[in-house]
């Protein structure tokens, strides 16, 4: 069974995240959207809210699961016996950052290698980021066009 972990903070999930999962769905038997707890981030939405947003967004995707974890993504992948990490790329800066993480993950894994699979975000969604959405929400702007229906609060 080919299973991928799609890690992130998803604060909140955006249409860019949705695009990546929707396009990756045919490539894997199961995708685990894993909400990581980053000690350096202050979240706008609680973990429970983010889990609910994602569950509602992917309710029609039976092979998509939602989970949360603390610690390193590769440790989480090992605990779930997963060999693939799914990441979305919006721009060249994302690529450089994600490449460094992928190479570090490969160096930190020994016998059980973990491959990172990169998908380019569709061009119409490449400008969307959770941080931009949070900024728009904080100023009471029209963020609804950037997120799935479940996030519209």
CATH assignment of the domain containing 82: 3.40.50.620
Task: Give the pLDDT confidence score for residue 111 in this predicted structure.
Answer: 60
Is it true that the peptide bond before 122 is cis, omega within 30 degrees of 0?
A: no
Q: What percent of the chain has pLDDT over 70?
A: 98
* 30: annotated active-site residue: no
Residue showing tokens 């029209």: 142
* 68: annotated active-site residue: no
Selected catalytic residue, list 2, 41, 59, 152:
41
* 23: annotated active-site residue: no
Q: What percent of the chain has pLDDT over 90?
A: 75
91-127 pLDDT, tens digit per residue, is: 888 888 888 888 888 887 766 788 999 999 998 898 9
| pTM of the full structure | 0.92
84 labelled binding-site residue: no
Alpha-helical (H) ranges within the chain are 15-24, 47-57, 73-79, 92-108, 130-138
d(CA 135, CA 152): 15
* Mean pLDDT to the nearest integer, 31-58: 93
Residue 41, class by beta-carbon neighbours within 10 Å (0-12 exposed, 13-18 middle, 19+ buried)?
exposed
* 134: annotated active-site residue: no
9 labelled binding-site residue: yes
Q: Is-contact 117 86, C-beta < 8 A?
A: yes
Selected catalytic residue, list 2, 50, 55, 90:
90
Provide the domain count of the chain.
1
What is the extent of the structural domain holding 146?
3-151
127 labelled binding-site residue: yes
129 labelled binding-site residue: yes
Check residue 122 and report its DSSP letter: P
Instruction: Please state, in angstroms and as integers, the Cα–Cα distance from residue 2 to each residue in 18, 26, 54, following that order.
Output: 20, 11, 21
68 labelled binding-site residue: no
pLDDT-derived band of residue 152, with 50, 70 and 90 as boundaries?
confident
**Buried/exposed 69-91: b ≥16 CB within 10 Å, e otherwise:** beeebbebbeebebbbbbbbbbe
């Amino acid at each position: 069974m080919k299973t991928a972990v799609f890690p992130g903070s998803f604060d909140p999930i955006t249409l860019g995240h949705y695009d990546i999962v929707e396009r990756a769905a045919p490539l894997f038997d199961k995708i685990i959207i894993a909400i990581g707890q980053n000690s350096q981030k202050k979240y706008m939405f609680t973990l429970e809210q983010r889990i609910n947003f994602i569950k509602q967004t992917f309710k029609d995707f039976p092979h998509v699961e939602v989970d949360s974890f603390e610690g390193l993504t590769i440790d989480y992948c090992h605990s779930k016996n997963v060999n693939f990490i799914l990441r979305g790329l919006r721009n060249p800066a994302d690529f450089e950052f994600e490449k460094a993480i992928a190479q570090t993950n490969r160096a930190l894994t020994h016998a059980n290698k973990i491959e990172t699979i990169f998908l380019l975000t569709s061009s119409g969604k490449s400008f969307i980021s959770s941080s931009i959405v949070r900024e728009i929400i904080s100023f009471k702007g029209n963020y609804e066009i950037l997120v799935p229906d479940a996030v519209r609060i």
